[in-house]
Amino acid sequence: MNLKSTIIAASMIWIQLGLFAQDDLMNMISEEKPTIEYTDATFKTTFLVIGQSIENPPVGNLIFNVQHRFGAINSGSYDFFGLDQAVTRIAFQYGLAEWLGIGIGRSSYKKTYDGWVKAKFLRQSTGLRKMPVSIDYYGNIAVSALKWSEPDRTNFFSSRLSFANQLLIARKFSPGVSIQLVPTHVHYNLVETKEDDNDVFSLGAGGRFKISKRVSINFEYYYIISQQTREQYTDPFSIGFDIETGGHVFQLYVSNAEGLIEEHIMGRTSGKWWNGDIHFGFNISRTFTIKKPKKFMGE
């Protein structure tokens, strides 16, 4: 092989090596970096039916809630099957951060004021970080403003207080199916007798099943674990529909529970489905953007 042939062969080898190296470099550049994909919209609102869901109010958003519950349908025609009686709760909730929400409310049932906090510990995700469930902590404090039944005796403000603690554990299995478990603890500072439970434990379960783009059917059940309370009260069970209409979400449901907050639902429900102690109710949620996300503010 003469010098000319040697130079040509070496040049061809060099070009091929360069092309291979370029292909490797382009492949490395084109490879997508591993990402974390978080699951959103496990449920449509912060309420599953009458209890809390895993959802937090969006950061910077104020949600105005109206919860309305009519009387039991077995009250008969004189009370128009419960429609002449009603309890209502007006509430506001706000998203302080993506993981933190707060809220306040006032219920006509036992004239109760409540405040709460909901913090997200884990969020269901896939990709670089896989997490099979989302987990929130929910805690509230409630104050009854009812007049003292015995005003002449020594009464303490602390006797008006009750507290609720919940772990909300949820998984979105598909765009149309989400399931949630809710271990719950409720504490009452004052109970009627010494035999009554100051601390009531229950385990809730519920789910959401979409039946159309804007409508889903939801259910919710709480099993009372504390034995003394179980002998006096009934497990609350509720079933209803979520209907989304733009900025509003309507929730229509029936339940054997009359109360509107955890202290009145888990541990103080006396109505029985099989006796007709069924209440029709609805929730309305309206969202207002108070602080726009930076991507909308051009920052």
pLDDT tens digits for range 76-111: 898 898 899 999 999 999 999 999 999 999 999 999
Q: Which two tokens stand for residue 299?
A: 């920052």
Q: What is the mean pLDDT of residues 170-196?
A: 95
Q: What are phi and psi for residue 216, nearest 5 degrees? A: -140, 160
Q: Which two tokens stand for residue 162?
A: 């009750």
Q: What is the CATH number of the domain that holds 125?
A: 2.40.160.40
Coil vs helix vs strand at 57: coil
Residue with token string 């719950």: 184
Same domain, yes or no, for 16 and 46?
Answer: no
At residue 17, the pLDDT reads: 46
Same domain, yes or no, for 15 and 149?
Answer: no
Same domain, yes or no, for 101 and 182?
Answer: yes
Q: Which long-range contacts (CB under 8 A, 24 or more apart) does 93-100 make?
A: 93/46, 93/57, 93/62, 93/63, 93/65, 94/57, 94/61, 94/62, 94/63, 94/290, 95/56, 95/57, 95/58, 95/59, 95/60, 95/61, 96/59, 97/59, 98/56, 98/59, 99/56, 100/56
Helices marked H in the chain — which ranges? 3-30, 227-232, 262-265, 294-297
**Which among 234, 237, 250 has a CA at the least distance from the CA of 282?**
250
Q: Is the pLDDT of residue 274 over 60?
A: yes
Q: What is the mean pLDDT of residues 173-202?
A: 95
pLDDT over 70 percentage in the chain: 86
* Number of domains composing the chain: 2
Same domain, yes or no, for 27 and 40?
Answer: no
Q: What are phi and psi for residue 7, nearest 5 degrees? A: -65, -45
Residue 22: domain span: 1-31
Same domain, yes or no, for 135 and 8?
Answer: no
Q: Of how many residues is the chain composed?
A: 299
Q: Which two tokens stand for residue 292?
A: 């726009």
Q: What are phi and psi for residue 55, nearest 5 degrees? A: -75, 140
Q: Give Cα 206 distance to the centre of its chain.
A: 11
Same domain, yes or no, for 110 and 12?
Answer: no
The neighbouring-strand residues paired with 149 are: none
At residue 18, the pLDDT reads: 52
Same domain, yes or no, for 75 and 195?
Answer: yes
Chain mean pLDDT for the chain: 88
Same domain, yes or no, for 112 and 243?
Answer: yes
Same domain, yes or no, for 7 and 67?
Answer: no
**Which has more pLDDT, 285 or 31?**
285
pLDDT over 90 percentage in the chain: 70
At residue 35, the pLDDT reads: 86
Integer angstrom CA distances of residue 16 from 21, 87, 188, 238: 9, 81, 80, 71
Q: Which amino acid is at 100?
A: L
Same domain, yes or no, for 26 and 54?
Answer: no
Same domain, yes or no, for 243 and 125?
Answer: yes
| DSSP-assigned states of every residue in 65-127 | EEEEEEEEGGG-GGGGGGTT-EEEEEEEEEEEETTEEEEEEEETGGGEEEEEEEEEEE--EEE
Q: Is the pLDDT of residue 205 over 90?
A: yes
Whether the CA torsion 157, 262, 50, 91 is positive or negative: it is: positive
Q: Is the pLDDT of residue 30 over 60?
A: no
Q: What is the pTM of this model?
A: 0.84
Confidence of residue 164 (pLDDT cuts 50, 70, 90): very high
Integer angstrom CA distances of residue 247 from 159, 239, 284, 291: 40, 23, 10, 16
Same domain, yes or no, for 221 and 114?
Answer: yes
